[in-house]
Amino acid sequence: MSPTARLILASESPRRRELLSTVGIPFRVLPSGVDETPEAGETPARYARRAALDKGNWVAARHPGAYVLSADTIVVADGRILGKPGDRAEARRMLSSLAGREHRVVTAVSLVCAARGYRDVGTEVTRVRFRALTPAEVAAYARTGEGDDKAGAYAAQGAGMLLIDRVSGSFTNVVGLPMTRVIEMLRRARLIRVSRSGPHGYAAAGKRG
């Protein structure tokens, strides 16, 4: 890894990759191999934080000199975690349960560097309300397959935006990475600096010690 590409994104999510690319600094993608199954009695917020840290630590142990950014996003309704649907029937049930109601999208973000003993963890919560949906609308959206691999069975950045009545908080958090929080974490680690030129407004910080 070159001195200007000291950041690893521990996720294969194309949405997270696209969001991080908007910052304009080099990074590599290396997904982790950790088990993401919630533990017995684990609250949604605690699960998201642990899962994000586990992913980051798994990659950092193999690349100790790099800074590793990892995240875990969950949808929470009635205190329950809604994961990725197992099939279209489950997707329809999830969407129907969210219709006309508010739910929370919780993302825990971790930035770690094993060699420096560096760790920064934060959690972002966004409230999302779906509009009332007819069974036909639920079925039509489920058939698109857009939500097949997404928590809560929908994608806010795609056709799923048509399901949403309002969003309270970070929209990029609903997509998968709360970018305001991520930028602050990268700045605290001195991985980015404000740039006076370039399309993004940020640049990779110079090599440190």
Would you please indicate which residues are annotated as catalytic (active-site) residues?
A: 72
Look-up of token digits 């521990």: 10
CA nearest neighbour of 120 among 63, 191, 208: 191
132-137's contacts with Cβ under 8 Å and 24+ in sequence apart are 132/99, 132/100, 133/95, 133/96, 133/99, 133/100, 133/163, 135/96, 137/163
**Contact, 112 vs 119, CB < 8 A?**
yes
